[in-house]
Chain A
Amino acid sequence: MDQEKRNQRSIDPATLAMLDRAEAEGLETAWDRHDRQEPQCGFGLLGLCCRNCNMGPCRIDPFGGEPQKGVCGAGADTIVARNLLRAIAAGAAAHSDHGRDIVEALLHASTGQSPDYQVKDRDKLAALAGELDIAVEGRSAEEIAADVAQAALEEFGTRKGTLAFLNRVPEKRRETWSKFGLTPRGIDREIVEVMHRTHIGVDNEYVNLILHGLRTALSDGWGGSMWATELSDVLFGTPEPVEGVSNLGVLQENEVNIIVHGHEPTLSEMIVAAARDPELLELAQSKGAEGINVCGMCCTGNELLMRHGVPVAGNFLQQELAIITGAVEAMVVDVQCIMPALTSLADCYHTEIISTSPKAKFPGAKHVPFEEEKALQIAGEIVKIAVEGYPKRNPERVFIPKEKMEFVAGFSVEAILSALGGSLDPLLDAIKEGSIKGIAGIVGCNNPKITHDHGHVTLTEELIKADILVVETGCTAIASAKRGLLLPEAAQKAGPGLRAVCEALKIPPVLHMGSCVDISRILVVAAAVANALGVDISELPLAGAAPEWMSEKAVSIGSYVIGSGIFTVLGTVPQVLGSENVAALLTEGANDVIGAAFAVETDPLKAAVLIVEHISDKRSKLGLP
């Protein structure tokens, strides 16, 4: 591979070192497969292919020629809007089904059905119970948890008309949602209705379709995702600032390395616990290993680092590279963003890919079904498989890049409030007087279409330089962790105003708020700031960005973020440009309806300019300097 092409793949030295290693070993990665997909299908890129019925598949000529209509008569606007809605539904379903799993875990913990799980944060449980009008006086945590879990389950197929957490939404925003029919009525219901409306011959009007898409996304952000976050905190503890180490250099040459990869904390929490079992540690030593090193990857990594400071080996595009180190005994996976490519790659090494969810099996993986009832026991069995694989490691093929970087994470809403001394006022004052110009949430995936980590890191660095406080989740936060931006010392890279605030509070200029469902934490902060100032979220100097997004979950996230009133810049082009009307609605028209819209900008430097200008505009409208 020529140097120019190599250097366009990533800015992360550990990743580049592993890509060289992959090439030397003749192993393919997502970047190679992306090259082989080029040029990608134009109809697909533009959202102009419809496979929703068997009169088709149908395509619309994007250059004005024939055909301009599918067999049913659907034109570009209808087809593009329907495809967008189905992506939102898939993304909302992924987050919300993750949320449901956490709700069920709490329910089973409360009934004693899964004794390995207990309520860890009783204060948070009591606060949630208060929000839900559930009695707490004289009741045990288990009794309260059971009622909270039941109330949460009710949200999925709700019959009471709307979602509980809408009480957190500023009144003006709720009025806007009500006016345009955007108030989510139930988590599962909106997703089902997407599938109904996008069936042949139902909703054909693109504006009506997209309004429902926003409602579905809002049921994710203020519903499924928010429940996942809140109840994970109840079960596993609300994150507090914690130190950790990131990047592939966290893998240990003389220890059993286990990577937990995927999204839900239920299993990974138990793996972390099982890896501390003295019997398993003794077994590891008998196999010649110095210890058992559990590392995270993607959002499972984020869940664990937020609560325990567990090392994180990397973000989405590094999952294959971890295996190519030759030093991973087991990669334990559950759901979402786990590449099917892992198993054939693991065949080239001693690494076991261990699937655990009945929802996600992988040809070639060892399947160890995870059951909450026997959680710790199963986690122990999984750790044992890894330990027993240690002697099969071929030391001659081990190649662990040296790069690793310390970080501080764990900034839940509660942790931010505590860092501020218990009230939002210091943050509000800093925003009002202008030392902090605004807040930007940068989130999302990796995508071989964008130089790995370049989108995240460049945008983050540009924004903190402009005195914009950055809050992050998911693969963005891991990119910043690897770059050292999650350290208090990174305040030196910030503008003078933000730097002074960070140094006074001893916080980094970039706050890691968790996994991708934890974007709900960012919504809570945005709503709290709006409520404190008595304005709508859309009036605040806020922005969102997803510089390297790729998943359908990101489509849902982007939609609930603009639906909540926050301008959002996308770093890869969404599959909607086949309809000028849909594209115009999403990037301009939406401003008139919900007070926010998307922008698309693949260059992070230009994206930063858009966000700085937007925040400056919002500040002047609020009369702030």
Chain B
Amino acid sequence: MKGNIVVDLEKCLGCHSCEIACAVEHSRSKELFQAVAERPRPQKRVIVEGCGGSNLPLQCRHCEDAPCVRVCPTGALVKEEIEGVVLLHDHLCIGCKWCVLACPFGVIVAAPDDKVMIKCDLCQERAKAGRLPACVESCPTGALQLASTAQLAGTKRREFLVEYLQDR
């Protein structure tokens, strides 16, 4: 996997722009003004939750040992070998919701008709075109980033070092 979506809690203003961009990306037209008129309505795969003054856009973490993949009885949920993305093949989904029970983050939700589940696919179509996920691109403050684990760890190390040196 090239990266996963990481959030800078201090930068998220809770504007929900990522939710709209996500729904538009998963619409037929991929264009806002047309997407709002589509039926069935396009659905978002990222949900902005707030707690204690902090906001956190939550979406699938694409776990290495994904509990949803393990419990899925039909093989609708799979961990892709190459990019490491957890994908849901909705034609195989029977809507049993075991994945909802298994997911520790609550980021797999039911479609409005309750028949199949929907989740983040890390914008596979955009990825193939070399573009960032829609939520990352839409974030006006840059709170959402696509980063590899190595990049994330590197940033963390620098932050730690700066703080450590300042404290001394």
Residues on A close to B: CB < 8 A? Answer: 39, 41-43, 45-46, 59, 61-65, 573, 577-578, 580
Contacts and interface: CB of A to CB of B under 8 A. Distances in A.
Given A42-B17, A573-B33, 8 more contacts: A39-B137, A43-B15, A43-B20, A45-B32, A63-B20, A63-B35, A63-B41, A63-B42
B143 interface: no
A577 B15 CA distance: 19
B76 to A, nearest CB: 23
B16 interface: yes
Contact of B21 (A42, A46, A573): A42
Contacts of B33: 45-46, 573, 577
Contacts of B35: 63
Interface in B29-66: 32-33, 35-37, 41-44
Contacts of A39: 17, 21, 137-138
A61 B19 CA distance: 9
8 contacts: A39-B21, A43-B16, A46-B36, A62-B36, A64-B41, A65-B43, A577-B37, A580-B37
Contacts, number: 45
B104 interface: no
B78 to A, nearest CB: 26
Of the listed residues A41, A43, A46, A63, the one surrounded by the most CB atoms of chain B closer than 10 A to its CB is A63
A184 to B, nearest CB: 32
Given A63-B23, A63-B43, A65-B44, A577 B16 contact: no
Contact of B20 (A42, A64, A573, A577): A42
B112 A62 contact: no
A22 B23 CA distance: 37
A578 B36 CA distance: 7
A62 B20 contact: yes
Nearest to B137: A39
A48 to B, nearest CB: 9
B24 interface: yes
Contacts of B15: 41, 43
Nearest to A57: B15
A577 B17 contact: no
A577 B36 contact: yes
Contacts of B154: none
B140 interface: yes
Nearest to A61: B19
A430 to B, nearest CB: 39
A129 to B, nearest CB: 50
Nearest to B39: A64
Of the listed residues A39, A42, A46, A61, the one surrounded by the most CB atoms of chain B closer than 10 A to its CB is A42
Contact of B112 (A43, A59, A64, A577): A64
Contacts of B41: 63-64
B3 to A, nearest CB: 20
Interface string B1-19: 0000000000000011101
Contacts of A61: 19
A49 to B, nearest CB: 9
A573 B138 CA distance: 20
B37 A42 contact: no
Of the listed residues B16, B37, B43, B140, the one surrounded by the most CB atoms of chain A closer than 10 A to its CB is B16
Of the listed residues B20, B21, B42, the one surrounded by the most CB atoms of chain A closer than 10 A to its CB is B20
Contacts of A46: 32-33, 36
Interface string B128-141: 00000000011010
Contact of A41 (B43, B137, B140): B140
A558 B43 CA distance: 34
Interface in B107-137: 112, 137
A63 B20 CA distance: 8
Contacts of B17: 39, 41-43
Nearest to B138: A39
A63 B36 CA distance: 6
Nearest to B34: A577
B35 to A, nearest CB: 8
Given A59-B16, A63-B23, A64-B112, A42 B44 contact: no
A169 B113 CA distance: 53
Of the listed residues B32, B37, B137, B138, the one surrounded by the most CB atoms of chain A closer than 10 A to its CB is B32
Contact of A63 (B44, B137, B138, B140): B44
A43 B24 CA distance: 12
A61 B24 CA distance: 12
Nearest to B27: A63
Q: Can you list the 7 inter-chain pairs with the closest CB atoms, starting with the nearest? A: A42-B20, A64-B41, A63-B41, A62-B36, A63-B23, A39-B138, A577-B33
B17 to A, nearest CB: 6
Contacts of A580: 37
Contacts of B24: 42
Contacts of B21: 39, 42
Contacts of B20: 41-43, 62-63
B33 to A, nearest CB: 5
Contacts of A577: 33, 36-37
A176 B112 CA distance: 44
Contacts of A63: 20, 23, 35-36, 41-44
A578 B20 CA distance: 12
A42 B15 CA distance: 10
Contacts of B43: 63, 65
A584 B140 CA distance: 31
Of the listed residues A39, A41, A580, the one surrounded by the most CB atoms of chain B closer than 10 A to its CB is A39
Nearest to A602: B33
Nearest to A583: B37
Contacts of A42: 17, 20-21, 24, 32
A63 B37 CA distance: 9
Nearest to B38: A63
Contacts of B36: 46, 62-63, 577-578
A59 B16 CA distance: 9
A43 B23 CA distance: 13
A46 B33 CA distance: 8
A65 B48 CA distance: 13
A43 B42 CA distance: 15
B11 to A, nearest CB: 16
Of the listed residues A41, A43, A62, A573, the one surrounded by the most CB atoms of chain B closer than 10 A to its CB is A62
Contacts of B37: 577, 580
